[in-house]
Amino acid sequence: MRLTPGPRRDIDLDRVNLFDLDLYASGDPHPVWDVMRKKHPLHHQVLPDGREFWSVTRYDDVCRVLGDHREFTSERGTTPTHVGVDDPAAGLLLTSTDPPRHTEVRRPLGAKFTARAVKSWEGSIRGTVRRFLEPALDGETFDLAEQALLLPAMVTGPLLGIPPKDWEQLVQLTAMVTAPADPHFQHGSEAATLAIAHHELVTYVKEWVKDRRAAGGEEHTLLDHLMSVRAGGEPLTDDEIALDGYSILLGANVTTPHTVSGTVHALIERPEQFAKAQADPSLIPNLVEEGLRWTSAACNFMRYAVNDVEIAGGTVPARAAVVAWIGSANRDASQFPDPHAFDITRDGAKRQVAFGFGPHFCIGAPLARLTLRVFFEELLQRFSSIELDGEPQHLRSYFIAGMTHLPIVAQKRRTL
């Protein structure tokens, strides 16, 4: 979807379909969200097949929906693909489990992802980023969005214990889960694409666990750590390990590449911001936060109301699906003045909710922030300028805001 909104236009919310894939692949949802925040912060939509959902678009409402599991449960599904169809992995998959069980599983995993813990990986990540950027140094066309899909696997594969020969396959499968309607990743129908990808990913983790146990010995990868987690005094079942490993693979592979390509695109459109960051590298951490806010790669998350709940000036009925639009919350002027401006010096950019909010705040956020900081340090050190060499192509998904193609030409800095 377009990250820089087009001209203002009249929006008839009664005719808006928030699950219209064209709105994201070739359209512009930001003017729609602007009107929703201003005039209709609780929006109800009925899909052609009779399924229905409510939407919240203001920052505070999004945080409330994501932050209060007693009012809004995760245990019936957390992505829009589960609207009206309960997630069969609820209560087993970490992302579809509420506290206290969620906390029991998450806490020992989170200890491996603290900012202090991931700091030791910086040298390895920097080497990976340098290898990733090397092909762009020759001044030829480099499709950043296409290549960036593999970047998270290059970073996290060794940490997870996944061999390089499997990275490309797993990246393809995770993309199929999050964008099953995009022609680059679709295999048959959307439902078939989801089913194939889910089965292949879960099977991969099960086989990985089986092989690791058969091999014996001590390993210290993140997936090994998952095998040692105990919740409520008991080890995780093989099904829980497989599903949570699947969730970790999704989280590792899905959002970072789209944050990279979307932020680079914003810098290409605004060369003064590129120059400002290059002149003052101390701005790079804030550039990362503004990039996360700007791209909001995980466009939304979903919850279900436990009981009737009053929110955003209306009432969501018990057991109704509620979609919290991250992409809208991160453009809420009450939190981010002049929200449609990309400004790497923005005060308060770190308030962005691109990693979610509340109990399900992204467990890998410290690693993602480190990877993004290192990426832009290396990018700005190596290139004097970056230009488009063709039209960006946007992902056909209402769940992930990203690109499939961003052809660029970069000029190498003379100091290299």
Burial (CB < 10 A; 0-12, 13-18, 19+), residue 137, is middle
- Return the pLDDT at 153: 92
- Return the pLDDT at 312: 97
- Half-sphere exposure (Cβ direction) of 242: Cα atoms closer than 13 Å: 16
- Return the pLDDT at 193: 94
Determine if the pTM surpasses 0.75.
yes
Which parts of the chain sit beneath pLDDT 70? 217-219, 415-416
pLDDT tens for residues 246-300? 888 888 788 899 999 999 999 999 999 999 999 999 999 999 999 999 999 999 9
Cis omega (within 30 of 0) on the bond before 100? yes
- Return the pLDDT at 219: 67
- Return the pLDDT at 82: 80
Quick one: which of 285, 203, 212 has its CA closest to 249?
A: 203
- Return the pLDDT at 201: 92
- Return the pLDDT at 218: 66
Query: Could you give all domains of the chain from N- to C-terminal order, each with its CATH number?
Result: 16-412 (1.10.630.10)
Instruction: For tokens 């679709």, name the residue.
Output: 186
- Return the pLDDT at 217: 63
d(CA 398, CA 282): 34
